[in-house]
Amino acid sequence: MKLYSTNGSLIHSSSFPGGSHQKKGGSEDFKTTIKDPTIQSLIANVTFTNLKKTETLSNVVTAKLRLKSAGAESLVH
């Protein structure tokens, strides 16, 4: 998962260190914490790859997100 600010700057990148084992179908949750309270919205791009991250297994799923406040931090779900 890569998170971009609305101006296109990459602000966060994350992945499953040991990979994610998927069968045919199903769902996966991606969560992270954004500690910068000035960020109100962002763009998330999610792509599934093989365990070695050398082969793309899905199209890029893009979502425009509005952040909700949780104290001093914002949560992305």
Q: Kindly tell me if the per-residue pLDDT of 72 is higher than 50.
A: no
* Chain length of the chain: 77
In the predicted model, is pLDDT for residue 77 greater than 60?
no
pLDDT band at 74 (very low <50, low <70, confident <90, very high): very low
pTM for the model stands at 0.70
pLDDT (tens digit per residue) in 4-57: 998 999 998 888 776 666 666 667 777 788 888 888 899 999 888 888 888 888
Quick one: pLDDT at residue 22?
Answer: 64
**Phi-psi label, residue 40: left if phi above 0, alpha if psi -120 to 50, beta otherwise:** alpha
